[in-house]
Structure 1
Amino acid sequence: MTSAPQAPATGPATAPTGRADRPYLLRCPVCRADYQDDGLRLDCDAAHRPGLLSTEYATAFTPGPGSGPFRYRDWLPTAGRALPEGSGGATYRAERLGRALGLAELWVAFSGYWPERGAALTTGSFKELEAQAVLARLPERPPVLVVASAGNTAAAFLRACSRQGVACVLVVPETALPLLAAAGERADCVRLVTVAGDYTDAIELADAIAARPGHQAEGGTRNVARRDGLGTALLAAAESIGRLPDHYVQAVGSGAGAIAAHQAAGRLRAGGFPTAADPAGRSGGLPRLTLCQNTSFAPMVRAWQEGLAEPVVDSGPAVRKAIAAAHAQELTTRKPPYAVAGGVREILTESGGELLAADTAEAVAAGRLFAEVEGIDLAPAAAVALAGLRRAVAAGRVPARDTVLLHVTGGGRARRAAERPPSAAVRPDLRIPAGLGAEAAAYLVTGA
């Protein structure tokens, strides 16, 4: 696979706006340094504690035409070029589900496949929102993008990169292959590599590949486009509701989607958009975050509830067993951006939010409830989120009359598969066996 050389990193900006084709800046939350964006930057150059760069836009909230993520292109870090027609989810008031939960004002942001509702994310996951934004941010001649995934992200990038002809290497656990079937036909510019391990093994191999000449790590949560793309789900929901919700509920693995929602809500609040009702002043008008993980593997829940500086996760067999037992494998990130500046701990503190865990039985029951009441299937992570919401309502943490936004980050896959069954099993270009080191495996992938 050929690639263009990586574009050089830019230095701190000397003007309050970015280049003409990128009318925004990247800002470090630690030292407040500003950077003009080259479409690839992931970190600040200064030596200080880790922090997630954020985008600073000069424009007000001005949605454009259409219904996909590029409706909010003024708040996306795009390169100023013509963009493809994007696909998005749908927001609706879930009255029947609300009654079942004891909530008077429940809204659902459905980021999946549900054509009757207007949700057109073919892979059935909100990861398509981030993939579309990441590709729109890339420079004109990008290096080969390297993406590690537990399955959903790889499906989204497989589809987006194949449709736009962007060279990439996708690295996933062998067990994730079935999740890629919904992405459709894979173009030659997309290489697929599997590892005989879990998500952490995929990340280690992807990091080694990204260090090779002509390759570039997509960056995960560190990529501002990934977060701002995911944040369009909150923007669309706020438009539909007419104000920011009092509560925002989502399942989290890395927490990128929750960070994105919090940042998007902050931009809306700063621009004068009607905010959440919060007489106690706990969140400053921002939605209170209720973030959910699997009970069997909940490192951030434990860190939050025990006041730990960082989630503590080792790499032993007990951890691998806990990950294997998780209802939603996509939520099993071992090293989430928890304590970094702008990370999960910070957004929970700012919003007066909390982290909860739900077990498999609760998630299965929640998924069954959603299918019965709403008529569409939920992805495992979304079922965990709904189970967490049920727990929070039962405990009185979410008052019955508050406006609640439940982000269904995946759904409609069974519906999509019934309409268009996959024509063939997804086959990787290369399978990496257990025991082969990341450096040796990266050589096999790149030949360098």
Structure 2
Amino acid sequence: MPVANHREIAQPSPKYHLSCVSCGWESDPEFRLRCPRCSGALDPRINLENVTERDGDQPELTYLDFLPVESEHFLDADVSVRTPCHPAPRLGAAIGLPRLWVKDESQQPTGTTKDRLASVVLAVFRQFGIKEFVASSTGNSSTALARAVQRDHSMRAHFFCGRDFTGDHDIETGDRVSLTVVDGNYAQATQTAQEFAARHGLVWEGGFFNWARREGLKLTYLEAFDAMDDEPDVVVQAISSGMGMMAVRKGVAEYLACGRLTSSPRLLMVQQDTCAPMAVAWREGRAELTEDDVIEHPTGLARAILLGDGRATYPYMRGIATESGGAIVSVSQDELVQARTMLRELEGLDVCHSSAATIAALRNEAAAQRITPDQVVLVNLTGRERNTAAAAGPALATASVG
């Protein structure tokens, strides 16, 4: 679907340019979601020549030289925060990986790593003069974006979700924030949201293909790399679309380029067995997903990764797994429960089932000796459970599909 592209008001930025990760097409800075030549994902290529070490509590300013946005566009210091990254010796010993480290993103203000993307997305929108946008998600992204919008009185946002995910949205609706519940699944809610944006001439936020999202998530890993005593041999995260994996790959490349890392880790991606189209395709050696792989009504304990249609992003995840020597795996519902219990009892970490998927996968990989005790392993615990019930304020609406 066509979307409006917004160029910076200022002259072309010496800080970065856009580049297609698939065909190499390049452009001066603009808010564009896909490559006009091949429809591939775009990345901002940062000029790393003048990178300096910065101190501070606000992660966006600490890592400003690695972001495609200037400091004046970060208006609120509390949209996202730095989070702990530390060894997990008891858990590591229990699963046979004594050099295990955990990055605890459950400490973010809304309880998930998506606060990081909210901070950078809104800063990029300010940079391009975007004051109103439309978005959809299964809960965490929209919750984080809505909170950030509420803190900037110049912004307006319209969020859409499938009915099954209403309770996963913790959104205070009002004059500047609306939540529309669609009688359909996530994919149908996204289609309805895109149609709404086109009909009203508004910016479609873009989800996975919004490069500003991935730049925000990248900060999780830059913080982790700087906190660790040793470089990671393996990095593990649960995935739905795979934004986080795109983020860590780019962060690794940038840290290699400026000498902060000396080697690339293997990247291990995890889905749950009840909704694992990418893991199945990877296991079968397939290059793409088809309509037969789409799960119309996905279910499972790990609600944050319930994406039933991964066709648009699987090729990127397959490429990352192949290039890094990693894999895309799945874990069972029982394994999710066991891993979550282990995290709580052994490390005092009360995280969601999506976060626990990383530990479930590591138990299996260690048992199969695909990861060995001498290796340094970093897991991204992306968030915690929220007692969510959408705030059905005056702007809560319902839309039908069709």
Residue 212 of structure 1 deviates from its aligned partner by 2.3
1:30 to 18, 22, 33: 22
**Contact in 2 for aligned 1:294/1:359 (Cα 8 Å):** yes
**Contact in 1 for aligned 2:222/2:251 (Cα 8 Å):** yes
Match of 1:179?
Answer: 168
Match of 1:151?
Answer: 139
Residue 327 of structure 1 deviates from its aligned partner by 1.8
Summarize the alignment of residues 199-278 of structure 1 with structure 2, pairs less than 5 Å apart.
199-275=186-262
TM-score w.r.t. length of structure 1: 0.81
Match of 2:296?
Answer: 320
Deviations 1:14-60 (A, max 9, x none): xxxx946662111123332321213x2112222x3x32111111135
Change (3 A) 1:231 1:85: same
Match of 2:345?
Answer: 372
SS of residue paired to 2:199? coil
Residue 257 of structure 1 deviates from its aligned partner by 0.4
Residue 339 of structure 1 deviates from its aligned partner by 5.1
Amino acid at match of 1:55: P
Residue 430 of structure 1 deviates from its aligned partner by 4.0
Deviations 1:326-368 (A, max 9, x none): 222322321354455xx11111111000011011111011111
1:109 to 99, 103, 106: 103
**Contact in 2 for aligned 1:6/1:143 (Cα 8 Å):** no
Is 1:330 aligned to residue 304 of structure 2?
A: yes
Counterpart-to-counterpart distance in 1, 2:73 and 2:303: 36
Counterpart-to-counterpart distance in 2, 1:315 and 1:208: 25
**Contact in 1 for aligned 2:180/2:398 (Cα 8 Å):** yes
Residue 313 of structure 1 deviates from its aligned partner by 4.1
Deviations 1:220-269 (A, max 9, x none): 12111111110111100000014531000010000010111111011111
Counterpart-to-counterpart distance in 2, 1:219 and 1:288: 28
Match of 2:66?
Answer: 75
Deviations 1:404-437 (A, max 9, x none): 00000112x46xx6xxxx8x85216344355x32
Match of 1:432?
Answer: 398
Match of 1:162?
Answer: 150
Counterpart-to-counterpart distance in 2, 1:246 and 1:79: 33
Counterpart-to-counterpart distance in 1, 2:149 and 2:229: 34
Counterpart-to-counterpart distance in 2, 1:247 and 1:226: 23
Amino acid at match of 2:330: A
1:56 to 45, 51, 54: 45
Deviations 1:162-211 (A, max 9, x none): 11232111111233233333x6x445211111112221121111121222
Amino acid at match of 2:43: S
Counterpart-to-counterpart distance in 1, 2:267 and 2:128: 37
Match of 2:273?
Answer: 295
Match of 1:91?
Answer: 85
Unaligned runs of 5+ in 1: 11-17, 114-120, 276-284, 438-448
SS of residue paired to 1:320? coil
SS of residue paired to 2:296? helix
Match of 1:66?
Answer: 56
Counterpart-to-counterpart distance in 2, 1:349 and 1:404: 18
Amino acid at match of 1:427: A
1:42 to 33, 42, 60: 33
Amino acid at match of 2:371: V
Counterpart-to-counterpart distance in 2, 1:351 and 1:315: 25
Counterpart-to-counterpart distance in 2, 1:143 and 1:336: 31
Change (3 A) 1:66 1:349: same
Q: Which sits farther off after the overlay, 252-261 or 370-379?
A: 370-379
Question: Percent of aligned pairs with the same residue?
Answer: 31
Change (3 A) 1:251 1:339: closer
Counterpart-to-counterpart distance in 2, 1:36 and 1:389: 41
**Contact in 2 for aligned 1:19/1:36 (Cα 8 Å):** no
Amino acid at match of 2:272: N
Size of the alignment, in residue pairs?
390
Counterpart-to-counterpart distance in 2, 1:225 and 1:364: 33
**Contact in 2 for aligned 1:24/1:58 (Cα 8 Å):** yes
SS of residue paired to 1:191? strand
2:327 to 346, 350, 354: 354
Deviations 1:260-314 (A, max 9, x none): 1111011111211233xxxxxxxxx211011100101111111111121212344
Change (3 A) 1:63 1:217: farther
Counterpart-to-counterpart distance in 2, 1:153 and 1:314: 27
Q: CA RMSD in A?
A: 2.4
Q: Which sits farther off after the overlay, 205-214 or 189-198?
A: 205-214
Change (3 A) 1:332 1:306: same
SS of residue paired to 1:164? coil
Counterpart-to-counterpart distance in 1, 2:325 and 2:163: 39
1:391 to 344, 364, 373: 364
Amino acid at match of 2:398: I
Amino acid at match of 1:77: P
2:317 to 344, 348, 354: 344
**Contact in 1 for aligned 2:104/2:381 (Cα 8 Å):** yes
